[in-house]
A and B are shown apart, each in its own frame.
Chain A
Amino acid sequence: MSWNRTLFALAVLAAVLFPLVVRDPYFLHAAITVLLFAFLASSWNIIGGLAGQHSFGHSVFLGIGAYVSTILFIYWNVPPFLGMIIGGIIAAIASIGIGYPCFKLRGPYFALSTLAFTEIFRIIATTTEQVGPVDLKGAAGILISFRPGNSFVNFQFAEKAYYYYIILAMLILILFIHNWIEKSRWGLYLAAIRDNEDAARSIGINARRFKILALMISAFFGAMAGTFYAQFFLYIEPILFSSALSIEILLIAIVGGAGTLMGPFLGSLILTPISELTRTYLGGTYAGVQLIIYGGILVAVMMFAPQGIIPPLAKRYRMLFERRA
């Protein structure tokens, strides 16, 4: 146990030191993207991994978070950190509305229904240009004008290091929450539901309630990521709701190892740079090559390590990675 703790501590330490060692903003930018997607995948992991409900609709929460905090910030100068919480709460409420019908369904039906939800949100975001005083700008998307300097009130920083540490903190937070849930009583409930819902209900577990609870938490953090995204890229658009993004998120978690604590992080560490680098070095000349590579990895993992790349590692570092201690 302690061995794994130290390992974890070392990893965190390395992450904390990274910006001090690597001064190049481009790498820092890449690192932030990696952490952001690790965080997103980790938030998906709570519903998708712990509860085993493979949602294809996570981008909906990302989108809600981004739009809510941004609109609050632009029109009423609400500090994005506050907007982040509000967005999270709204996303959590929305997730009840999504979860209620979708959780009636299982397997492919569940996947497809959540997919349909992302499409609906995307279309609505694209078509609505004006809501009361708020101009959603339709497909054009909303740009948050850049305010110079480093300000936590505006959640805008000239130095990327700030963003880096914020998202790092968020990631560590969600990892602790994941771990706590997993060890808690209802973590065990979720695992039971994941393994066999009928059996779970037959021993008195109210599956629907716990699934929705998990989805709400998942949605809350997904929305937080949305706010971070908005403040980092200073631009949001309906694409945020796209099913493609949902799939990308779930891909990272699955490739890393759904349900495992560090899976999403590892997945992001592998996949995010690949898509970044291949785009940078192949993108121009060989259109689409990066997607071929991406698809290749996906196929390989599904065929040879469908549980993701963590479980094989898990044999060695049990306590840190294992699904259940």
Chain B
Amino acid sequence: MRGEFPSKILFLRRRKMKTIGIILLTFFCVFYYGLGLTYAQQEVKVGVLIPLSGGLAVIGENLQMAHDFAVKEINEAGGIKSLNGAKIKLIYADTRGDSKIGMSEAERLILREGVVAIVGAFQSSVSYTSTEVAEKYQVPYLVPNSLMDAITERGFKYTFRVERKGSLWAKDQIDFIADMGKATGKSAKTIGVVYENTDMGQAIAKGIRKWAPEKGLTIGLDEGYPPKTSDMTPVVLKMKRANLDIVILNSYTSDAILLIRTIADQRVNPVAFLGSSSGYSDPSFIKEVGKLAEYFFDLTEWTTDLKHSPFVQQKNVAYKKWNKDNRDFNGGAAFCYASTYILYEALEKAASYDPKKIRDAFAAIKITKGPAMMIPWTPIEFDAEGQAKGARMLVVQYRDGQRKSVWPAEISSTKPVWPVPKWEERK
């Protein structure tokens, strides 16, 4: 276009520009000091997508606390140094556990709130869709805990996931079962998988179907039950009749409570029960079922008694002191806490408010120290797909109401009880 302009006009323009430039420069010089000041108070806005109402509100609030705690620590420690101590400001958006809302909220965060990065969104279905939005607007999106494989299998440049892929959760569960067999000599033959018929449950079940045969395990029961099931007895009776060695369960909290109670009522006695986090790691689960949870194994990303890093105990103590109803971290919360630190490291590295630069920082990150080390593997880095390398799951067993890590042995605190005592024999 320019070329078409008569040179005169062009000349005028040039001059005009120059003058404007000079004016701006003077302004800049004059206000430099002032600018510097305002800069110090500046905030880095980060969006957090979690369910804060609806059925998953409990879980959402739990994660929210973890984020708040991490941000409090970071800001008190002087915020992001590379940005003259800019403070991190988390802006929460309620997904209501609805993937559609998740998308529009992600959009709102980016366009209205102008966040430089997003963290979230707990449920796979929501992360799955909202990452799409972030990709579209080229804003980095850190996923602390969503397991659906596809999330990092779409060649996205802006999605980073800390969590282990869902299909591999099942692999870890199967490995655990096999290892326990070797370790105790009490090996299992037939396993059953009972899961809530939602994206998460279906992902686990798919994985079990894939990995069980490789360890010579036969699947004796493969039962998905509908969400909002009012009575678990039918499922439990089926479980009982299949007389399984291992029962692998996947449920949200309400079902988990009903299931355990019914299992106890019906005296279902396999070698072991193995949960898949979610409902079984929800604090209100142990609070409500109490003794019944004893000896129950649960797959989890994290627990308070891991031995690999001093931060685990010390941060959990601090957290417990800080939060109102002195809760421990659970897996989800711990990952949110650690993820906030990964985000912090990325921001430090990027030294910029530009989402693209922050994205590159994520891609290049390699963390081996700091509170991010709550996560039970080092180093923390992401592969080309944005999936955390070396991510792995652990197994805990409920002992006197505590979640004691039992697998893998090298970082665990406790020797597992395997097989678990029969219900009749428990007092």
A residues touching B (Cβ–Cβ < 8 Å)?
24-26, 29, 33, 123, 126-127, 129, 138-141, 143, 145-146, 158, 233-235, 237, 239, 276, 279-280, 283-284, 287-288
Contact = CB atoms under 8 A, between A and B. Distances in A.
Specify which of A24, A145, A158 lies most central, judged by the most chain B CB atoms within 10 Å of its CB.
A145
A143 B150 contact: yes
Contact of B199 (A141, A146, A279): A141
Contacts of B129: 143, 233-235
Interface string B74-100: 000000000000000000111010111
Interface of B: 52-54, 57, 92-94, 96, 98-101, 103-105, 107-108, 111-112, 124-125, 128-129, 132, 135-136, 148, 150, 154, 197-199, 201-203, 224, 226
B107 A140 contact: no
A237 B201 CA distance: 15
Specify which of B53, B98, B101 lies most central, judged by the most chain A CB atoms within 10 Å of its CB.
B53
B202 A140 contact: yes
Contacts of B99: 141, 235, 237, 239
Given A123-B226, A284-B94, A139 B199 contact: yes
A234 B128 CA distance: 11
Given A129-B202, A235-B100, A287-B52, A143 B132 contact: yes
Given A138-B202, A140-B148, A140-B199, A239 B132 contact: no
Contacts of B57: 287
B107 A26 contact: yes
Given A25-B107, A140-B203, A284 B93 contact: yes
Given A127-B224, A141-B125, A239-B98, 11 more contacts: A26-B108, A29-B107, A127-B197, A139-B197, A140-B125, A141-B99, A235-B100, A235-B128, A239-B100, A283-B94, A287-B57
12 contacts: A126-B198, A126-B226, A129-B202, A139-B198, A141-B128, A146-B132, A233-B100, A235-B99, A237-B99, A237-B125, A287-B54, A287-B94
Contacts of B136: 146, 158
Contacts of B201: 139
B101 A279 contact: yes
A24 B111 contact: yes
B197 A25 contact: no
A39 B38 CA distance: 48
A86 to B, nearest CB: 24
Contacts of A158: 136
Contacts of A141: 99, 125, 128, 199
Nearest to B199: A140
Contacts of B103: 233, 235
Given A234-B132, A284-B93, A126 B197 contact: yes
B135 A26 contact: no
A129 B150 CA distance: 15
B124 A140 contact: yes
A279 B154 contact: no
Contacts of A26: 107-108, 111-112
A127 B195 CA distance: 12
Nearest to A285: B52
Given A146-B135, A237-B99, A280 B125 contact: no
Contacts of A234: 129, 132
Contacts of A239: 98-100
User: Closest 5 interchain pairs by CB?
Assistant: A287-B53, A283-B94, A140-B199, A139-B198, A235-B129
Nearest to B136: A146
B34 to A, nearest CB: 30
A139 B202 contact: yes
A158 B92 CA distance: 26
Contacts of A283: 52-53, 93-94, 96
Contacts of A287: 52-54, 57, 94
A287 B128 CA distance: 23
A158 B128 CA distance: 19
A8 to B, nearest CB: 30
A64 B136 CA distance: 27
A33 B104 CA distance: 10
Contacts of B100: 233, 235, 239
Contacts of B124: 140
Contacts of A139: 125, 197-199, 201-202
Nearest to A291: B53
Contacts of A145: 154
B195 to A, nearest CB: 11
Nearest to B48: A284
B108 A280 contact: yes
A138 B201 CA distance: 11
Contacts of B226: 123, 126
Nearest to A140: B199
B124 to A, nearest CB: 7
B427 to A, nearest CB: 40
A279 B100 CA distance: 13
A37 to B, nearest CB: 12
Nearest to B128: A143
Contacts of A235: 99-100, 103, 128-129, 132
Nearest to B98: A239
A283 B96 CA distance: 8
Contacts of B108: 26, 280
A24 B150 CA distance: 31
